[in-house]
Amino acid sequence: NAGVMQNPRHLVRRRGQEARLRCSPMKGHSHVYWYRQLPEEGLKFMVYLQKENIIDESGMPKERFSAEFPKEGPSILRIQQVVRGDSAAYFCASSPPGLRGNTEAFFGQGTRLTVV
Amino acid sequence: QQPVQSPQAVILREGEDAVINCSSSKALYSVHWYRQKHGEAPVFLMILLKGGEQKGHEKISASFNEKKQQSSLYLTASQLSYSGTYFCGTEQGKLIFGQGTELSVKP
């Protein structure tokens, strides 16, 4: 049973380009979280998704950031027109269906985005 | 609202014990504990679902006091491999993490 898979592991983008981060949840998991982590800082919640549905996006910046989790395929976190301040590690975590918060969430290895 | 962890950092010698606390201003229904080593992904340790529940993982255990809206993580007879940053997470419609506690175990 493969774990949570994120790709790419490292991504370098020039200012103004678009970044697409992918997350394939564990088998049987239908919920995905995205978090952003700056060096030496904590895990900042961005968005919580179920297949074909955004449950909570209160942590997403209002502009340039979007996320989706289609019926088929991985969850995508998309950052348009990247700026240097977007440089960070982006982690996704997946959890199985069940009472929200009452099931374990497992993390992928993260995508380290560097904007030059 | 982000749970609050204390202490922010702790340094131990191998074999010593430590306690990490996590508190919330909101009612807690579950508490998750994770450990993250530098440059790696957070690793799930345990989840506590009921007030008063206690769990163990190797020599790491945790308790959950629902009334006080607190959870504590206990590390006994610490090993070098316990070094890392520990995060507690609380369910508030989504999983929100505290700011982390950096634990360093020295030989």
Partner-chain contact B95 A33, CB within 8 Å: yes
What integer is the mean pLDDT of A61-66? 96
The reply to whether omega before A8 is within 30° of 0 (cis) is yes
**Is the dihedral angle over the CA atoms A96, A36, B43, A11 positive or is it negative?**
positive
Tens digits of residue pLDDT in A15-30: 999 999 999 999 989 9
Instruction: Give the Cα separation of A55 and A52 in Å (integer).
Output: 10
Res B49: pLDDT:
81
Give which of B87, B61, B63, B65 is closest to B74, Cα–Cα. B61
Residue B85 burial by Cβ neighbours in a 10 Å radius (0-12, 13-18, 19+): buried
Mean pLDDT of chain A: 93
Instruction: Give the Cα separation of A50 and A103 in Å (integer).
Output: 14
**Confidence check: pLDDT of A1 > 60:** no
Sort out which chain B residues have CB atoms less than 8 A from A101's CB and list them: 29-30, 90-92, 95
The beta-carbon neighbor of B94 closest among A41, A48, A103 is: A48
Res B54: pLDDT:
64
Question: How many angstroms away from the CA of A84 is the closest CA of chain B?
Answer: 20
Res B52: pLDDT:
62
Sites in chain B below the pLDDT cut of 50: none
Partner-chain contact B42 A43, CB within 8 Å: yes
State whether residue A55 sits within 8 Å of chain B by CB.
yes
Partner-chain contact A107 B43, CB within 8 Å: yes
Q: What is the CA radius of gyration of chain B?
A: 13
Tens digits of residue pLDDT in A33-59: 999 999 888 999 999 999 999 999 999
Instruction: Give the Cα separation of A34 and A23 in Å (integer).
Output: 9
Contacts for B38-43 with beta carbons within 8 Å, 24 or more apart? B38/B84, B40/A109, B41/A91, B41/A107, B41/A108, B41/A109, B41/A110, B42/A43, B42/A91, B42/A93, B42/A107, B42/B87, B43/A107
Tens digits of residue pLDDT in A85-112: 999 999 999 998 765 556 788 999 999 9
